[in-house]
Chain A
Amino acid sequence: MATDTRSLAAPTRPSAPAGRTRTKSLRRQRRLASTAMLVFLVVSSLVMAAPFLWMALSSIRDPTELARVPMPLIPEDLRWENYTEALTRAPFGVYARNSFILATAAALLNVAFGSACGYALAKLRFRLAPAVFGWMVACIMIPFYATVIPVFLMVRHMPLFGGNSILGAGGTGWIDTWWALIVPGAISPFMVFLFRQFYVSTPSELIEAARLDGVSEFGIYTRIVTPLIKPGLLTVALLSFEAGWNNFLWPLLVTTSENLRVIQVGISSFRQEAATDWHLLMAGTTLAAVPMIVLFLVFQRYFVQGFAASGIK
């Protein structure tokens, strides 16, 4: 098309000025396209974010507004008391503390044991290495939902806990304890896999040199190689923390008392409590959602590195 125009417009003249017009129109076309794209992006990303904006707006809305038809889209006055009221109706502070403990434990345990196993698989030659690696990859494929019932039964029949006999009968085992919340999901095979990938990219020559210098194998792992993958440590810690904070089904199944309830289960139970008080429900939901959003904004780069590798939540 463009070539045609040029040959028609300037059949006799040398191509220089015509070329200039062409680039100018191309540039204008491009500017138009990128403006259109920007408008599209603004609109569509606002649509993507609308549910969160709606949550935030609803959380500071006066309850009488919620019943009015038509409801003003922007709250007429900001009612921050919704948050204090939500906090008195349900112990969100306790829920948040529990989630924080659970998420932190998950992060620490995954970093400690996941990195140990990942390092061994990436850098050390031992007889069972191929079998262990194969097992971990297979484990990644196995969804928690397929094993949740047996894991629940194992926790409930944990011998010598919660009034259980040595055979695991008679009591409630680990049900409604921190053990149940933390231990079964403490080490994720995916994190082992991720660590292995991080360690594979570190230079093996360093290990050989350290060995010649007489550094112990454990010292090489902790003091020589692991410092090289600090961003990887942070990625695993953040992903584990996120998974712990957002976990729902498992805490729902194994805790009954309120002082062990985590925040996601807390919102779900608050829903029964607050019924149709949507201003309070949205305040509670905001309290549950905001910490992860903030953490993500601060550590975006590290999250992205992990998510891009995983394709799973």
Chain B
Amino acid sequence: MSAAVSPGPTTPDAERVAAPDAPVRRRSVRTAERRWGLILAAPATLHTLLWIGVPIIVAIVLSFTAYDIIHAPEFAGLENYATIFTDGLFWRSVLHNAIIAGVGIPISMFLALVFAVMLNRAIPGQGIFRVMVFLPHITATVAVAMIWLWIYNPSENGLMNVVLGVVGIGPLPFLTNPDLALASVILVTIWQGIGLKMLIYLAALQGVDGQLYEAADLDGANFVQKFFHVTVPMLRPATFFILITALIANFQTFDLIYILTEGGPANSTSVVTYRIYQTAFQEFRVGLANAQSVILLLILIVLAFLSRKIVGGTDGD
């Protein structure tokens, strides 16, 4: 997140070495440094070039072909992109991502901030509360999805229906009703998303100058005023950071959909990654799936670019 930070060390004062053979020695040290720099950086660099760089090129090349895995790819020009342009389901999947983000992220950010502000004070059980809020993030999404599959069970014994039964609603078919399924998915993303956001907010709160609160106290500000006039403005960089990373993570939602709904019912919860998976590994339209991947990549590049523009240099590291 910080391409602005330049690599490399600060210049060491090699001047201090004042022995007669210093220049020769310094040169051999510089050669060794240069050589070892390359040697140590090589494995990771070559690995990422091979397994991230090459695949991107392959994806772009294959996006201009018709390819079904069995027969050799055939050049198809812009056909795949033309198909995507009119592919309602693909854009619907993009829309679902946007809805999940648009509804889920603000809510989970707000709740994360509330938790962070409360858990930033010395209160009894602070550590336990933090762990309880953070557990959904540490748990594998597959396991999380299995749990919620059971919670959303349409029978009277699904936990959600037990809860709603108390107020006389239901039982509801959360995941099999097209009108309810996306909302049910969003609720899980909110629940799972609070922990990490809280953690980042907590880290940011450590950096807020306590004197600002003392000054606000002197001015007679109450808790709510301090929250909105000191805490919120001071957390602006963290808020942008959370927003951007959450947006990017949102476009990578896959496991949850795979387990909970398989994109259904009637495609009402299909998301971009799930659509790409289906196109490639169920319909075997690999060329088209690569074109969809390129679009996903473009969406994420735009998001990353926007974030840099908005955040500018204020975020630092």
What is the 8 Å Cβ interface bit string for chain B, positions 122-158, against chain A (1 contact, 0 not)? 0111001101111111111111101110110100110
B68 CB to closest chain A CB (Å) equals: 12
Contact call A143/B146, Cβ cutoff below 8 A = no
> Does A242 lie within 8 Å of B43, measured CB to CB?
no
User: Interface size (A, Cβ < 8 Å)?
Assistant: 112
Q: Known contacts A125-B34, A132-B45, A187-B48; is A312 also within 8 Å of B249 by CB?
A: yes
Complex Cα distance, B289 from A308, in Å, reads 34
B142:A267 contact, CB within 8 angstroms: yes
**Docked complex Cα distance between A217 and B29 (Å):** 9
Would A122 and B54 count as touching, CB distance under 8 A? no
Also in contact, A313 and B137, with CB within 8 A (given A41-B129, A45-B132, A145-B276): yes
By the criterion of a CB under 8 Å from any partner CB, how many residues of chain B are at the interface? 109
B265-301, CB under 8 A of A: which get 1 and which 0?
0000000110011001100001001100110110011
Give residues in A with beta carbon < 8 Å to B: 2-3, 33-34, 37-38, 40-42, 44-46, 48-52, 54-55, 58, 66-71, 73, 113-114, 116-117, 119-130, 132-137, 139-151, 153-154, 183-187, 189, 192, 196-197, 204-205, 207-208, 211-212, 216-218, 221, 242, 245-246, 248-249, 253, 264, 267-268, 271, 278, 281-282, 285, 288-289, 292-293, 296-297, 300, 303-304, 307-308, 310-313
How far, in angstroms, from A242 to B41 measured CA to CA in the complex?
24
Contact A142 B52 (CB under 8 A): yes
Q: Which positions 2-56 of chain B face chain A at CB distance < 8 Å?
A: 2-3, 6-10, 12, 14, 17, 29-30, 32-38, 40-41, 43-45, 47-49, 51-56
Complex contact A288–B290 (CB within 8 A)? no
Closest beta carbon of chain A to B16's beta carbon, Å:
8
Q: Which residues of A contact B255 (CB under 8 A)?
A: 248-249, 264
Number of A-B contacts (CB under 8 A): 305
Q: Are B146 and A147 in contact (CB under 8 A)?
A: no
Residues in A neighbouring B147, C-beta threshold 8 A: 51-52, 54-55, 282, 285
B contact face: mostly helix, strand, loop, or mixed:
helix
A189 contacts B248, C-beta separation under 8 Å: no
Question: Which listed residue, B45, B129, B297, touches A142 by the CB 8 Å rule?
Answer: B297
Q: List 12 A-B contacts (CB under 8 A).
A: A51-B144, A119-B40, A121-B41, A127-B34, A128-B38, A142-B52, A183-B51, A218-B36, A249-B255, A253-B281, A304-B199, A307-B200
Please determine whether A248 and B37 come into contact, CB atoms closer than 8 angstroms. no
Question: Contacts A143-B248, A184-B51, A278-B153: A249 and B44 contacting too (C-beta < 8 A)?
Answer: no
Closest to B148 in A: A51
Q: Which residues of B contact A42 (CB under 8 A)?
A: 125
B142→A264 contact, CB < 8 A: yes
- Across the interface, which residues of A come within 8 angstroms of B144, CB to CB? 51
Pairwise interchain contact B37-A292, C-beta atoms closer than 8 A = no
Residue among A44, A67, A126 making CB contact with B33, cutoff 8 Å: A126
Q: Is the CB of B29 within 8 A of A211?
A: yes
Q: How far is the CB of B30 from chain A (nearest CB, A)?
A: 8
Q: What residue of chain A has the Cβ atom nearest to residue B245's Cβ?
A: A311
Contact of A248 with B142 in the complex, beta carbons under 8 Å: yes
Interface check B176, CB cutoff 8 A: no
User: Taking A153-B58, A184-B51, A205-B12 as contacts, is the C-beta distance between A120 and B135 under 8 angstroms?
Assistant: no
Within the assembled complex, what's the spacing in Å between the Cα atoms of A151 and B54? 9
Q: Which of B3, B37, B139 contacts A137 (CB 8 A)?
A: B3
